Every structure is written in structure tokens, then in C-alpha cells.
Amino acid sequence: MFRSHLVLFLAASILLAFNISDSHAKRFTSQYCEFELPAGWECALEGAEWVCQSVNKERRKEAIIILAAKKRGTQDSLDEYSAYLKKTKTFTLPGGKTQVSDPKYTKMNTINNHRWVDSLHMASEVPGFYTRYLATVKEDLGVAVTFSVGKDHYDAYQGIFDSIIASLRVFRQKFSKAGNFKLKSKEENLLDNTAFIPDLEQKYDIKQRRRHKQGFLDQLGDNFWIIIIALMVGGAIVINKSRSKKKKKKKKKKSE
């Protein structure tokens, strides 16, 4: 009995250890903003944009975060960002079909004592994907962070994105001149340069792909098989111990 309890305890400890490591977030810091990055995600600088995705190849197709900044121009203000995001966004798909986004909301949001324009669109960057925009200005910079997720995964990622946004901070490093890191040009539209066209050139490995909703096994991911093996080993130990005890009892009876 003690052995079986010990095996179950070890298996539960392994599962708990993986859950703790998965839930541990790390802080990502760029030259102009920072936030808590989900466990298992990494960020890389691609040209003038920071691109954050899961290190898991399958999960990379579900969601993406993109950060961009530029020197402020006349179109870079909270009012201009708000007016732009209240409208539909349009781009052309392969074959000439026009994709028009569906704006869900655009509002002002105060995050860590700083005001941002907060907007949600459907199919504004990728067909079949929701994209949430956070845009603001800080001194001489315009800053935007976009969160894109496949519609089939929206519910699963909503809480994750909310937690990231709650930790979002923007700043302007006094010691860092604009030339020290890449910015979008002053003439570029900060919110209109990240369109992804599925099956054409996958700039950030995002694809339109219908998937089943995540279940418990999907959430465990690569750790699932490690846990199963641990449980199987533990079960084998319990069975062997049980058989050994039975054999000893039989021998004892025969000797009597």
C-alpha cells in the first residue's frame, strides 16, 4: 500500500512540476515597451517589428503578437488611431478577392496609468483570425502592439492576451536615440503594414487552419507522454510488488 501511494505521489509531483513551469511567465522588454510573455513563447526582431510566437510549431499557427514603433507624424495621435480603427480594413486576397474586416469595438483603455486605443477586428490581418490592436503615443514615438489569434482558438487565448495587456508598459528610453533601433518610417501607417496572406508568403508562419478546440491533452502538449510514461512505470512497479507479495504468501502456505 505504501509503495502504491508513493508512486501516485511521484506521478502527481511530476504533473505539478510541469504545470508550474508552464504557468511561469517571463518579462519581455523591447526598446519602447514591455510585458509578461506567456511560458513557451519567444520574441525575435524581424526588420522593424518584434514578432512573438510560441516555440511549439503547431501553436505558432494559432496566435502571434507583433510590436512596432515609429517616429511620430501628423497621423500619430490617439484620436487618429481611434478614427482609423473604427473603420473597416481592406486588403486583396490571391485571385483578386477583396477581404474586408469586421470591426467589433474601438475604445480607450488605461493600462498601468497610460492611455491606449484598444480595438478588436475580425479578418483585418488574416482571414479567419481575430486581431486586437493596442496603439498609443509616447513622447516622439507612436507604438502599436497587435494580438492575432485564429477564431477557433479565440476563447482559449482571450485570458492569456488579457493578462499580457494588463502587464503592458510603454516608455521612451532617454539614452536610446531613434537610430539605435529600427523604427517604421515617419510616413508609414503604424496600423496598416502587417497583413498576412495565407498560402502566399508566410511572413510569420501564420496560416488559416481550422482546428478542433483544445482539450486537456492538447494543453499538456509535449509533457503528456512524459507523464504517461511515468505513470506506466509506476503502475508496473505496483503490479510487480503485488505479484511478489502473492508469491511469498503462497510459499508461506506451502511451507506450513
- pLDDT tens track for 2-33: 444 444 444 444 443 444 334 456 899 998 99
pLDDT for the residue 17: 41
- My answer on whether 91 and 178 are in the same domain is yes
- My answer on whether 129 and 199 are in the same domain is yes
Mean pLDDT of the chain: 76
Domain carrying residue 3: 1-24+222-256
Q: Which of 38-47, 107-116, 119-128, 205-214 has the lowest mean pLDDT?
A: 205-214
Q: Is the pTM of this model over 0.95?
A: no
Q: Over range 106-125, report the average pLDDT.
A: 96
User: HEC states along the chain?
Assistant: CHHHHHHHHHHHHHHHHHHHHHHCCEEEECCCEEEEECCCEEEEEECCEEEEEECCCCHHHCEEEEEEEEECCCCCCHHHHHHHHCCCCEEECCCCCEEECEEEEEEEEEECCEEEEEEEEECCCCCCEEEEEEEEEECCEEEEEEEEEEHHHHHHHHHHHHHHHHCCEECCCCCCCHHHCCCECCCCCCCCCCCCCCCCCCCCCCCCCCCCCCCHHHHHCCHHHHHHHHHHHHHHHHHHHHHHHHHHHHHHHHHC
- My answer on whether 200 and 136 are in the same domain is yes
- My answer on whether 1 and 126 are in the same domain is no
How many domains is the chain partitioned into structurally?
2
pLDDT tier for residue 64 given thresholds of 50, 70 and 90: very high
Q: Check whether 111 has a pLDDT greater than 70.
A: yes
pLDDT for the residue 67: 94
Q: Over range 57-73, report the average pLDDT.
A: 91
